[in-house]
Each structure stands twice: as C-alpha cells, then as structure tokens.
Structure 1
Amino acid sequence: MSWCRRIAGLRTLTGLGLALAALGPTWAAPSSVVLSCAVVYMPQRSTWVREVRIDWDRKAVRRLRIDGVEPYGFSLLPGGVMTAVDNERIQIDWVTLQWQSDFRGQATGQGRCETAPG
C-alpha cells in the first residue's frame, strides 16, 4: 500500500472517529452500535425499518451488518459508509443520520436513522 493511501485512510478514520464520537458517549468506547432507519422506498411508497449494526473501536469499524446480513465489503466515507446488500447500493451518513439507497435505478430509498438500544 502506498504512503498516500495510508495517509488518506488515516484521515478517513480520524474524520469517522470524530463523527461517531459526536453522536454520543456510546460511540466513543469500543462497542456495537445499532441504528434504526425508517426508509421510504419509491416508487412503491413503502416504508421499511432497517437495522444497521456497527462494531466500532477507537481505531476502525470492525464489522457492519444490515438487517443481520454482513455485506462482502464496505467503504468508509468522511462521516459515513457505503456498501451493498443484494442489489441495493446503500450509503449511510453518520453525521446527519441519513440513509440513501438505490436498486440499480429501478427504485430508491431515503430515510432517517436514530440510535437504538443494542
């Protein structure tokens, strides 16, 4: 891995740590954090409550699960995460607690998340 990528990765983790720590004391300690996201899917106009579980320590996100399913991978963004489960591409902003998703252009989802008891 090049030094530029390592530095960029450290910046992302540092920014992510700040975003997670700003959400409250449960984000600061190593733990599993649960978000409950009410997502409205269009064009069907149906609402689903999605559970996002994030295993986090002070250095990195160790594991991510959406509705109990662990995606093959995820990418950390400044203040959020991007992943995919089946045909749904998902982006979660941890700063604004917003969910956005897309089913390959066939349907979209948007919603608000809140921390839930884990």
Structure 2
Amino acid sequence: QTGHVLTIPRTSFLQALDTYPSIAACQELKRTEMIATEELRQAIQRISARKLIWKRYQHLINEGGAYQHLINDEDQTTGLESLLPVLQQWLSWAVGRRKQRERSEREKAQYDRMMSHWMQKHVLSQ
C-alpha cells in the first residue's frame, strides 16, 4: 500500500488565512486534524499491541511456552489447546465489536438521511 502526505508550510497557511479569512473553517480544520491525529495514535497503539500479542503467542506455540516445565505430564496440553479459550474469547469480542460498529454505522446513515430529508424539506421550501 502507498500513502501520500500533503504538507503545507505554516507560513503559507497563515498567508492564505490572512488573504481569505474564515475563522470557522480554520477551527473546523483544527478540530478534524486533532481527531485524525488521535485516531492515528490509537491505530498505532492497536497495531503495536496486536503485533506484541501475536509474537507472544507465536513464541508459546513454537516453543511450548515459558512455563512448560511446571506442567505435569498427565496435565500437559499443547500450545493450541491452551490457546483455544483465549482465541474463542477474542472471537466473541471481535464479533460483538463488529456488530456494535455496524449498528453505529447504520444509525449514522439513518441520521444523515433524516438530516438530508429535513434540509430538503425546510431549505427548498423557503
């Protein structure tokens, strides 16, 4: 994947703001950039945590775990057997999160449709 970044020097931005003043647009830009920055920070944290967990479980599966010597021979389970409940719980959480996200997206779409309908009804009637 390729990502593109557009950088505008602060002096150019301030010059454009002086030439075409729009305080509301400037504040909206700041707000959206702060939100985007926070979302990026959270995504980086999620990816880092996911990668750390993945490496930890890969190590457990490949090497039998750090506590393998503490397990009795009759109670010995494979790495996959001990990992199964964790993965099942994670799957349950992921499915719940997906349903929550889909519900939120449906609610937002419904809200957008209602606002659009209201705008058409009130703005066009004037």
Question: Aligning the two structures, in what range does the TM-score lie when normalised by the shorter sequence?
Answer: under 0.3
Q: Which has the higher contact order (CA 8 A, sep 6+)?
A: 1
Larger radius of gyration: 2
- Tell me the TM-score normalized by structure 1: 0.28
- Could you state the TM-score of these two structures normalised by the residue count of structure 2? 0.26
Higher strand share: 1
